[in-house]
Amino acid sequence: MTKNVFVIGLNDHNAERLKRLRGVEDVEFHQLLTPAQVSDTQDFDIPAMLDEARGTLDAFGGSIDAIVGYIDFPVSTMLPILCREYGTKQTSLEALLKCEHKFWSRSVMREAIPDHIPKFTAFDPFDDDALSKIGEADLRFPFFVKPIKSSGSRLGFRIDSPEDFDFAIEKLRAEIRTIGEPFDHVLAQADLPEDIRAVEGHYCMAEQVIGGRQCTVEGYVHDGNVVPYGTVDSIRYPQVLSFFYYLYPSTLPARVQQKMWEITRTIMGHIGYDNAGFNIEYYWDEVQDRIWLLEINTRIAQSHCDLFEMVDGVSHQQVTIDLGLGRAPDMPRGEGPESVAAEFFYRVFFRDARVARIPSAAEVQVAAETVEGARIVSYVSKNMMLSELPEQDAYSYAVASVWMGAGKQSKLLWNYEQVMKKLNYEFADIVE
């Protein structure tokens, strides 16, 4: 009997990828809301999205066996609401918010894994005395600020001086309500402790600066069993906060990875997160031999899908689909054609610029053919302003991504250089 799985924001590329998963011969995938509505935009009208999704589901004539997604806000926060209403598997809204509400998340981490988190406090960016209150919380320069709910590295800033803080506050005040207000709608659906309810969707976090070698542990919880299944390194451009590439498998020492997996089991069990995928970002400070937990994301990382498929044999969307259908994930290991795989980010470090030239479709195809199995996605169009790109960090713009596999890491880097030599982007009206 056919099982019907509704995927929020499903696009053509992922529809093809889902067909290659294990055990989906009797599964039919349906799009629920379009990518334009949930990811290619910065306008998140969650009540309208939920109403449209309900309309689609109510009008469907067959069984609704799973409702899933693998995109960050707003998709991640809508899933528990829809799954609760339609009786499909997913973690509770409260457990999800203990991960996604950054102040609540740090608060529960302090209960379970206090040795692996930095000093932190919440603050209102519209409070003119915010900087002094951060100081009263025993946070000194440098520190990091970010929204209590964001996606990617959007609106995250390192603060080394009062001037840095003023710059960050100006940006936060201008943009934070685009996420803060829809997040408030989600918070209103949940049973929150009073101290958490007081920290509204437009609030921000200030945290002690932590660092080291960064990575992401991908995992899931099935019927209370916490299962980490892979670690992906996050390599940054030199001297900046922007990511250069994600590398799988991780090159961190095995003992460090095992300790991260142990911390992962502890915190996810403490939160009560269940029947859903997640990933946790960590730092390993080599000098102090200390592991820091940066944040928990309540979904698989979509950027890592190709990496798992190249190295392990299937995209880790396998986890999302299996859990949505109420079954233990059938995630293989080491059954792919490559030993290592990476997603590279081609970035420009302007404050803004106009895209004067992009590679043609034919040029992109020729570049991709330079390396067997490579995939290239360009995020810009001719004459657009880089500031129109959604979900960017505060220091650069990701113009394109390149996914590829190889037999070793050094070959990956060489192959990336060969591909980029064939991709010609040009920019005008540059604001440095």
**Residue-range domains of the chain with CATH:** 3-95 (3.40.50), 119-209 (3.30.1490.20), 343-431 (3.90.1170)
**67: nearest Cα among 58, 77, 80, 50:** 80
Asked if 190 and 94 count as a contact pair (C-beta separation under 8 A), the reply is yes
- At which residue do the structure tokens 């990875």 appear? 257
Phi, psi dihedral angles at 68 (to 5 degrees): -135, 170
Question: What confidence score (pLDDT) does residue 390 get?
Answer: 84
pLDDT score of 42 more than 80: no
Taking Cα atoms as reference points, which of 272, 278, 271, 295 lies closest to residue 227? 278
- Supply the pTM of this predicted model: 0.95
Structure tokens at 31: 């799009």
pLDDT band for 432, please (50, 70, 90 cuts).
Answer: confident
| Average pLDDT for the chain | 96
93-100 vs 102-112: helix axis angle to the nearest 10? Answer: 90
Percent of the chain scoring above 70 in pLDDT: 100
Distance from C-alpha of 29 to C-alpha of 72, rounded to nearest angstrom: 20
DSSP 146-211: EESS-STTTT-EEE-SHHHHHHHHHHHHHHTHHHHHHHHHHHTTS---HHHHTS-TT-EEEEE---
Looking at residue 152, its pLDDT comes to: 65
Higher pLDDT among residues 70 and 240, named by residue: 70
- Residue 80 CA to residue 67 CA, distance in Å, equals 9
**Angle between helix 361-368 and helix 409-420 axes, rounded to 10 deg:** 150
Number of other residues whose CB lies within 10 A of the CB of residue 25: 8
93 torsion bin: left (phi>0), alpha (psi -120 to 50), beta (else): alpha
pLDDT beyond 70 at 397: yes
**Helical pair 177-187 and 75-86, crossing angle rounded to 10 deg:** 20
Strand ranges of the sheet holding 157-159, from the earlier edge strand across to the other edge: 120-123, 204-208, 143-147, 157-159
CA distance linking residue 153 with residue 181, whole number of Å: 19
> Residue 205's pLDDT band (boundaries 50, 70, 90)?
very high
> Whole-angstrom Cα distance, residue 376 to residue 378?
7
Averaged pLDDT, 259-271 = 98
Burial class for 250, CB neighbours closer than 10 Å (0-12, 13-18, 19+): buried
